[in-house]
Amino acid sequence: MPKQVDHHARREAIARALWRVVEQRGVTQLTMRVVAQEAGMSLGQLQHYFASRTAMLSFAMDFASEQTSARVHQGLEKLGDRPHPRDMLRLTLAEMLPLHPDARATSRMSAAYVLEALHDEAVHEHARRGLVQGRALVEQLVRQAITDGHIDSGRDPATETNLLLALTGFTSLIELDVIKPQDALAAIDLHLDRLFRRTSASVTRQPLTVP
The domain limits of the chain are: 54-202
Q: Which pLDDT score is estimated for 206? A: 52
Q: Which pLDDT score is estimated for 115? A: 87
Identify the weakest region by mean pLDDT among 24-28, 96-100, 104-108, 153-157.
24-28
CATH of 54-202, one of 3.40.50.460, 1.20.1050.10, 1.10.10.10, 1.10.357.10: 1.10.357.10
Q: Name 75's Cβ contacts closer than 8 Å, sequence gap at least 6.
A: 91, 95, 206
pLDDT at 92 over 70: yes
pLDDT at 204 over 60: no
Strand, coil or helix: 197: coil
Contact of 160 with 150, CB cutoff 8 Å: no
- Half-sphere exposure of residue 79: CA atoms within 13 angstroms, side-chain side: 23
> 30-75 pLDDT, tens per residue?
899 999 999 999 999 999 999 998 899 899 989 988 988 999 999 9
